[in-house]
Amino acid sequence: MEFYDGYAKENGIPIFSDEDEEYVKNVNSIKQIKNLDNIINFYSTVMNGNFSKEIYEILKSLDPSLNYAIADDFFDKKSVIKKLYELNFNKKHTIFSLVPKIIKNMAELLVINQTLSTIDINQALRYINHVTYEEITQFEQEYKKILINKTIDLNDDKKLVKMLLEKTFERMKNFDDLQKTQYNAFAMAIRTGHLKPYKFFHKHKEMIKLLFPVIVTTPELDLSMWNKQEFDYVILDESSQMYIEKGIPLLYLGKRKVLAGDNQQMQPTRW
């Protein structure tokens, strides 16, 4: 920071862009669609295929009492018949097997369009009678609007360092006489390295707070130099592994508390 000579300014990333506003509008538009739950459940089964009116009509014609979970590309009718028969009747198919007409008819429908092999037919049949083709196409149009790919404008690490240096340097330029004295003592302590971390933090706490408004710490560290709600956010990682009595002092320091962790993990123990 002492040798900062002025980097070119980096353009910040807008917090809420025009694209974000359009995204929110599209999401709200989707939320207004009637029968949304059934539409989403059905669409999730066909979204990986080339959904069309023909596919919709074929699904409407399939017998929902059969199980269609067969690993097949639906190219060969005989293969589809064999697998449908074995799956639904739990019998090995042979040349002597008497295949019911319903199996043959359904196999004939499945080989009409290869896209059916990319669809979870069993799940689709659960919702096919609760949605119309028009509802699905309307939802698909709205849904695709929010999936438009856009370049994520991210600053790389070097640019972020430059931006942080610039912000810090601007802050230092406005130091009063007392803060300049505190900074000189702080910088000298870093150069000499004669203080232990605990003493260093407490001796130069005011300058540390001023220059470094973000800290990474552990519950065991003495944080008495910070006051109640001095931080805008306190984020606790692996919260499920932390004792309450250790976490509360950290939460005391933040205006907003964010707890990250897995509630399915075992709780911490003392043995």
DSSP letters, the chain, are -TT---PPPPPPPPSS-HHHHHHHHHHHHHHT-TTHHHHHHHHHHHTTS---HHHHHHHHHS-TTS-------S--HHHHHHHHHHHHH-S---TT----HHHHHHHHHHTT-GGGGGS-HHHHHHHGGG--HHHHHHHHHHHHHTT---------HHHHHHHHHHHHHHHHHT--HHHHHHHHHHHHHHHH--S-HHHHHHHTHHHHHHH-------TTS--TTSPTT-EEEEEETTGGGS-HHHHHHHHHTEEEEEE---TTSPPP---
Query: Which of 103, 130, 157 corresponds to the end of one domain?
Result: 130
177 occurs within a structural domain: no
Asked if residue 6 has pLDDT above 80, the reply is no
96 occurs within a structural domain: yes
pLDDT value for 151: 45
Asked if residue 270 has pLDDT above 60, the reply is no
pLDDT tens digits, residue range 164-211? Answer: 788 888 888 888 999 999 999 999 998 888 888 778 888 888 888 888
120 occurs within a structural domain: yes
Quote the number of domains for the chain: 2
Asked if residue 80 has pLDDT above 50, the reply is yes
30 occurs within a structural domain: no
pTM, two decimals, is 0.48
pLDDT value for 212: 80
225 occurs within a structural domain: yes
15 occurs within a structural domain: no
Q: Please give the residue range of the domain that contains residue 264.
A: 214-271
137 occurs within a structural domain: no
219 occurs within a structural domain: yes
Q: How large a percentage of the chain has pLDDT more than 90?
A: 23
pLDDT tens digits, residue range 132-155? Answer: 999 999 898 888 877 764 445 555
Query: Which of 130, 160, 175 corresponds to the end of one domain?
Result: 130
Q: How confident is the model at residue 126 (pLDDT cuts 50, 70, 90)?
A: very high
Query: Which of 99, 130, 161 corresponds to the end of one domain?
Result: 130
